[in-house]
Amino acid sequence: MCDRDTDASLRDAGAPLVSQADRWLTFDTPPGDAAFQSRFLKTTLRSRLDGPFLYIDSDVFVRGPLDEIFSLDCDVAGAPNHSRDTLAEQIWEQDEVMLRNMGWAIGSEVYINGGVLFWNDTMGARRLADEWHRRWALSAGRHESVRDQPAFNSALLATSPRLAVLDHRYNAQVFTSPRVATDAVAWHFYAAENRGIPERYNALVDEVVRTGTATLEDILAMVACREPWSPADLQDLVIKSASLHDQVFALQAERSDRRRQLLETAEALGATQAELRGARAELQGTQVELQETRAMLQGTQVDLQETRAMLQGTQVELQDTQAELGRTQAELGRTQAELQDTDAKLHAATAELQDTRARLLAVRTDMETVESTEHSLRLEFRAVQERELAARAELLFARQEVMSGHAELAKTSALLTQILSSKSWWLTRPLRAMDAMASQLRRGVLSNRDEDPPSP
């Protein structure tokens, strides 16, 4: 795989690599030089491809089969940097400066080289790849450096994937550790570094660059070499000598350590012999326990195999879940659009509600005015009722007085009748006048009795 510019250049030059590859993939990259574009693709490979794959730098010469790597039970696999065994020797000075400037921490066990990386198709691998690309882009923008190993190793610590450390022979970095090159499966030559050492491999590369081709015999001869340099060349002998010196130094250090250990062992041997006698008795009991433990271990291994099978099934389900998650995210996008439309409708409804509240407030004000008027009318009505009750009381009192007058009148009329019957002529005339007045009064009382009080 490559960027658009590289694809165009290779096709214009008629490079045979395009037709030799089983699949040729081309991707867009941000603008930048060739180093930037290549690292951009390198850090995004896992997100662009499906299935497990093995990434190999173009300056790595493969001499043997690599299929054992694909059987590793891990998220990612890589070899130690500089093909060294201690962490202090694995970290390059420039990488250490970048790690310090970016404030990144790394693991305390190993510093991985990015020339040969195995990526499994797991959630742990994809999470590591996303964090690697994010950190690399951040360091490239801040320090204008395209080095990707500091970002990769700090992302390892940050995401904690299942890491498998490859043996040096799968990524033998011949310039920093010539001793690992012998019979290695893959040689890594650091083509980006101008070391000016004309070893056999560089001679083969120079021939390809000069002529555009290389014979199969030259390539097979290179594969058959146990070391990537020729002993016939003096400068190559210097490299070979450096390799041997490195080995001698390591052997001397190992011999010193063994001498020190031997002295310590001799001093501890006397005490150990005494302890050994007691330990022998314990050993016999331990052997019995060991046999039982072995039986248990065999059962555990069977359980482990079943667990691995279940894990593979879980990984398949996880891939299905990822697909379902993609569909859910698309559905979420549609739901968000509908939510935005609902928000707009809600804003319109809110405005209408505010207008309705204003009208309701006006109606409430009118109702309060009506209630106040109604209260005043009720007060006036109560006053009218009170005046009516007073009038009825006065009318009743007047009726009582009229009834009393009527009784007196009846008595008077009876008296007049008695007087008239006595035939006293001198009283006849005045009594008749009184009788007329009584008749008028009687008519007035009867008239008042027939009147009804006014209705409320």
CA neighbor of 163 nearest in space, from 82, 278, 229, 80: 80
User: Per-residue confidence at 103, pLDDT binned at 50, 70, 90?
Assistant: very high
220-254 pLDDT, tens digit per residue, is 888 888 877 754 444 445 455 555 656 665 676 67
Residue 442 scores a pLDDT above 90: no
Q: What is the pLDDT of residue 232?
A: 40
The number of distinct structural domains making up the chain is 1
Tell me what the mean pLDDT of segment 77-95 comes to.
Answer: 94
Among 212-216, 335-339, 344-348, 380-384, the range scoring the smallest mean pLDDT is: 212-216
Work out the number of other CB atoms within 10 angstroms of the CB of residue 135.
Answer: 21
Has residue 52 been placed in a domain? yes
Q: What is the pLDDT of residue 107?
A: 94
Residue 419 scores a pLDDT above 70: no
CA neighbor of 126 nearest in space, from 138, 114, 134, 137: 134
CA neighbor of 198 nearest in space, from 232, 229, 223, 171: 229
Tell me what the mean pLDDT of segment 353-368 comes to.
Answer: 87
Q: What is the pLDDT of residue 198?
A: 42
Has residue 21 been placed in a domain? yes
Tell me what the mean pLDDT of segment 277-304 comes to.
Answer: 81
Could you tell me which residues are beta bridge partners of residue 17? none
Tell me what the mean pLDDT of segment 428-446 comes to.
Answer: 64
Q: What is the pLDDT of residue 86?
A: 93
Q: What is the pLDDT of residue 404?
A: 80
300-317 pLDDT, tens digit per residue, is 888 888 888 888 888 898
Q: What is the pLDDT of residue 162?
A: 97
Among 139-143, 162-166, 446-450, the range scoring the smallest mean pLDDT is: 446-450
Of the two residues 158 and 411, the one the predictor is more confident about is: 158
Two tokens, residue 199: 């070893």
Whole-number Å distance between alpha carbons of 55 and 115: 8
Has residue 117 been placed in a domain? yes
Of the two residues 78 and 249, the one the predictor is more confident about is: 78
Q: What is the pLDDT of residue 248?
A: 62
Q: List the end-to-end C-alpha distance of the chain, in Å, as a whole number.
A: 107
Has residue 112 been placed in a domain? yes
108-160 pLDDT, tens digit per residue, is 999 999 999 999 999 999 999 999 999 999 999 888 789 999 999 999 999 99
Has residue 114 been placed in a domain? yes
> pTM for this one?
0.52
User: Per-residue confidence at 217, pLDDT binned at 50, 70, 90?
Assistant: confident
Check: CB of residue 125 under 8 Å from CB of residue 45: no
Could you tell me which residues are beta bridge partners of residue 187? 61, 172
Tell me what the mean pLDDT of segment 6-11 comes to.
Answer: 92
Of the two residues 87 and 274, the one the predictor is more confident about is: 87
29-59 pLDDT, tens digit per residue, is 999 899 999 999 999 999 999 999 999 998 8
Torsion of CA 368, 373, 376, 378, to 10 degrees: -90
Of the two residues 56 and 435, the one the predictor is more confident about is: 56
Q: What is the pLDDT of residue 384?
A: 84
User: Domain of 40?
Assistant: 2-245
User: Per-residue confidence at 428, pLDDT binned at 50, 70, 90?
Assistant: low
Residue 199 scores a pLDDT above 90: no
Two tokens, residue 253: 């250090």
Q: What is the pLDDT of residue 78?
A: 98
Q: What is the pLDDT of residue 168?
A: 96
182: domain CATH number is 3.90.550
Q: What is the pLDDT of residue 156?
A: 97
Has residue 455 been placed in a domain? no
User: Per-residue confidence at 195, pLDDT binned at 50, 70, 90?
Assistant: low
Percent of the chain with pLDDT over 90: 34
User: Per-residue confidence at 432, pLDDT binned at 50, 70, 90?
Assistant: low
Tell me what the mean pLDDT of segment 357-373 comes to.
Answer: 87
Q: What is the pLDDT of residue 321?
A: 86
Has residue 399 been placed in a domain? no
- SS3 per-residue string spanning the chain: CEEHHHHHHHHHCCCCHHHHCCCCCEECCCCCCHHHHHHHHHCCHHHHCCCCEEEECCCEEECCCCHHHHHCCCCEEEEEHHHCCCHHHHCCHHHHHHHHHHCCCCCCCCCEEEEEEEECCCHHHHHHHHHHHHHHHHHHHHHCCCCCHHHHHHHHHHHCCCEEECCHHHCEECCCCHHHHCCCCEEECCCCCCCCCCCHHHHHHHHHHHHCCCCHHHHHHHHHCCCCCCCCCHHHHHHHHHHHHHHHHHHHHHHHHHHHHHHHHHHHHHHHHHHHHHHHHHHHHHHHHHHHHHHHHHHHHHHHHHHHHHHHHHHHHHHHHHHHHHHHHHHHHHHHHHHHHHHHHHHHHHHHHHHHHHHHHHHHHHHHHHHHHHHHHHHHHHHHHHHHHHHHHHHHHHHHHHHHHHHHHHHHHHHHHHHHHCCCHHHHHHHHHHHHHHHHHHHHHHHHHHCCCCCC
Tell me what the mean pLDDT of segment 288-292 comes to.
Answer: 83
Q: What is the mean pLDDT of the chain?
A: 83
Whole-number Å distance between alpha carbons of 56 and 117: 7
Has residue 222 been placed in a domain? yes
Q: What is the pLDDT of residue 450?
A: 47
Q: What is the pLDDT of residue 422?
A: 62
